[in-house]
A and B are shown apart, each in its own frame.
Chain A
Amino acid sequence: MNCNDSAERIPALASGLLPADERATCLNHVVACVECADALRGAEALQFLRRRDAGAAPAGLFQQVLDEVSEHREAGRTFWLGTAVGGAVAASLLVVVMMLGVLVRPVDVAPQSAEFYVSAEEPRVMHVAIETERALPGAEINILLSGDVEIDGAGGRREFRWTDDLDAGVNRLSLPLRASGDGGGQMLVRLRHPDSEQMFVIELPTDSG
């Protein structure tokens, strides 16, 4: 028996389903072959995991997950569609971040084209332009807020996550921001795609800080 023959039989050997005569021949090969011995150890581990009692999903979990995922979707769509919250003043800032092909970059401070202050008195819209060299279908977008800043109308939620198809060129997010204190804050935006990832941090000072 060679490695190819052994490889075919290892899963059945690990699950105890290999006929006795083949089992003996296969084991003779395995004890003399490091690669196949490792493969048998791996296959046995997976059989062990397969037999673990997993159980059915708790009642109501599907509905809960359904509500959660559709809410994420709506949150993301709101941002792409522009200023969904009425009353946001025109003060705005365009932050442009270039997404660099397949490079994975560390957290970086986004270049800001103008001074931008968040106010407790009124929501101010920050436009974040994400420019990509090519279309990125199924990109995952995370927004995480820290400090005394929140997204107006989001009920104090600090983290937003959704996936969307980014077009080649500029994709614009519109975020109505409001200060919840004097300390200012930061917004971390993370974009992930199967072959690229980029994070950037935007400083958000308040007009009273």
Chain B
Amino acid sequence: MSRRTSRRSRFAALVQPHFDALYGAARRLAPSPSDAEDLVQDVCLKAFESIDELERIEFRRAWLLKVLYHKFVDRQRARARSPVDQAETGADSVNPEEMARSEHRPDELVEKEARAALVIRAMGILGEEECSLLALRDIEEYSLEELHALTGLPTGTIKSRLHRTRSKLGRLLSNEELQKPVLRIVETKR
């Protein structure tokens, strides 16, 4: 077996069991399925390069999700620096098919998506470590003991950081600037 094949097999054995969880986390954060796929690919690229480290880790899913939340913050920052916001999550991103499948009324669905967009934007302003720790606890539901094993931080420190970050997120969500709709360039015509 060549080195390349061997690395691929090792990667598949380590990552495939967690792939749906990774994609699910990405889909909650990304404005479209293709953005979610890009985010998952970023994580997999990192995992592929860090395969020796990944093999030694006990909590692989948590490690992969942590990388995913870091990459998510990176992407949100890059998007914030970009003069053109190409794919902002928000009411406009509700597609007709999704609307037809949904059990919600269209106006409720639009409102939910707008709220999700606001939360996602606020999460993207958190630091990478803040965002990943909070998401692993409150979205992915890892225990404090598991987070201690993953980060090496004492549980008391984890608790206080989580509380501080929840407060920070709450403040960001109240920020009027953040609630303003993002200016979007939908199409450029000459």
Contacts and interface: CB of A to CB of B under 8 A. Distances in A.
A70 B4 contact: yes
A45 B170 contact: yes
Given A56-B23, A61-B23, A70-B8, A47 B138 contact: yes
A55 B118 CA distance: 21
A42 B173 contact: yes
Interface string A33-57: 0011111111101111110101111
Contacts of B20: 56-57
Chain A interface secondary structure, helix, strand, loop or mixed? helix
A57 B168 contact: no
In which size bucket is the chain A interface? Answer: 35 or more
B166 to A, nearest CB: 4
A42 B133 CA distance: 14
A57 B138 CA distance: 22
A57 B50 CA distance: 23
A65 interface: yes
A37 B170 contact: yes
A120 to B, nearest CB: 31
B151 to A, nearest CB: 15
A193 interface: no
Contacts of A41: 169-170, 173-174
B-side interface mostly: helix
Contacts of A49: 28-29, 116, 119-120, 123, 139
A62 to B, nearest CB: 5
Interface in B1-56: 4, 7-8, 11-12, 15-16, 19-20, 22-25, 27-29, 33, 37, 40-41, 44-50
B189 interface: no
A46 B165 CA distance: 12
Given A49-B139, A57-B22, A57-B23, 8 more contacts: A38-B171, A41-B169, A42-B169, A46-B135, A54-B24, A61-B23, A62-B12, A163-B46
14 contacts: A7-B163, A10-B166, A38-B168, A39-B170, A43-B170, A46-B166, A49-B119, A50-B141, A55-B24, A56-B23, A62-B19, A65-B37, A70-B8, A70-B48
Interface of B: 4, 7-8, 11-12, 15-16, 19-20, 22-25, 27-29, 33, 37, 40-41, 44-50, 115-116, 119-120, 122-123, 134-135, 137-139, 141, 159-160, 162-163, 165-171, 173-174
